[in-house]
Amino acid sequence: MPGGEVLKGSASTTGNRGSFYATNGKVTCVGPFRPELFGHKVGLAATCSDTDGGDGEGQDLAMGGGGEGAITLNGGRTAVFRYGEATKSR
């Protein structure tokens, strides 16, 4: 998150749609995501308990097994996210 907070959570998929949940015990963000059908990108929308949220996009990393991206929050700040194997390398 923009203030340096780290949220951790999970994601689940059904077909070509999914949802995620991430929290640090103080702030929780949830929302849907949709991977491109024949691509390497994922789009998502986040709603957070601190009344923030926004839309973002991520991309699979070249090595595979995960990716990273960014969410532009309603107040103009940016939150970075990682998924899959990309969470283990940082």
The predicted model scores a pTM of: 0.82
- Rounded to 5 degrees, what are φ and ψ at 83? -140, 160
Q: Are 79 and 70 in contact (CB under 8 A)?
A: yes
Query: Quick one: tokens of 7?
Result: 């949220």
Let me know if residue 53 belongs to a domain: yes
**Is the residue at 2 inside a domain?**
no
In a domain, 73, yes or no: yes
Q: Residue 79 belongs to what domain range?
A: 8-87
Write the pLDDT tens digit of every residue in 13-68.
888 889 999 999 999 999 999 988 777 889 999 999 988 899 999 998 877 778 89
**Residue 34 covered by a domain:** yes
**Domain count across the chain:** 1
